[in-house]
C-alpha cells in the first residue's frame, strides 16, 4: 500500500482510484491511515460481506483463527465489471504499482 501511495499521482492520472478494504474495524483502519499518511480510502468489511461475495475469505488465517481476506487487487471499470484481478495466497505478495499502471494502459 505504501507503493500505491507513493505512485498515487501516476495511478490517478490513468483514471484509477485506489481503495483498500480489510476486515479491520473502521477505527483500526483510520489509525493505520493516519499513521502511514495514506490519502486514499480504506474501507472496513468486518462481517466479510464483500470479501465473501468476491470469494476472498482466507479461513482462520487471522488473529485467533479469525477469517481474513486473501490478498487481492482488482481493477474495475466504471460499470463495476472486474477487468483485472491479482490474487495470491501470500499476504506479502502484492501487485507492484508499476504492474497496475501497465495493466491500466492495456485495458484502455
What is the share, in percent, of the chain residues with pLDDT greater than 90? 24
**Residue 107 pLDDT > 80:** no
- Asked whether the whole model's pTM tops 0.85, one would answer no
More confident residue, 34 or 97: 34
Instruction: Determine the 3-state secondary structure of 99 from DSSP.
Output: helix
Task: Determine the Cα–Cα distance for residues 2 and 7; give it in Å rounded to an integer.
Answer: 9
* Tens-digit pLDDT profile for residues 40-83: 999 999 888 998 998 888 888 888 998 888 888 888 887 888 88
Which grid coordinates are listed for 3? Answer: 507503493
Is pLDDT above 80 for 5?
A: yes
Q: CATH class for domain 2-107?
A: alpha beta
For 91, what's the count of Cα atoms within 13 Å in the CB-facing half-sphere?
Answer: 7
Higher per-residue pLDDT: 55 or 37: 37
Q: Where are the domains of the chain?
A: 2-107
Question: Mean pLDDT over all residues of the chain?
Answer: 86
Amino acid at each position: 500500500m505504501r507503493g500505491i501511495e507513493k505512485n498515487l499521482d501516476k495511478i490517478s492520472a490513468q483514471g484509477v482510484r485506489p481503495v483498500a478494504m480489510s476486515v479491520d474495524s473502521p477505527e483500526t483502519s483510520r489509525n493505520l491511515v493516519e499513521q502511514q499518511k495514506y490519502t486514499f480510502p480504506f474501507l472496513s468489511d468486518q462481517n466479510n460481506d464483500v470479501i465473501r461475495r468476491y470469494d476472498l475469505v482466507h479461513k482462520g488465517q487471522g488473529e485467533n483463527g479469525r477469517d481474513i481476506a486473501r490478498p487481492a487487487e482488482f481493477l474495475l471499470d466504471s460499470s463495476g465489471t472486474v477487468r483485472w484481478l491479482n490474487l495470491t495466497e501470500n499476504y506479502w505478495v502484492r501487485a507492484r504499482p508499476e504492474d497496475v499502471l501497465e495493466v491500466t494502459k492495456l485495458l484502455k
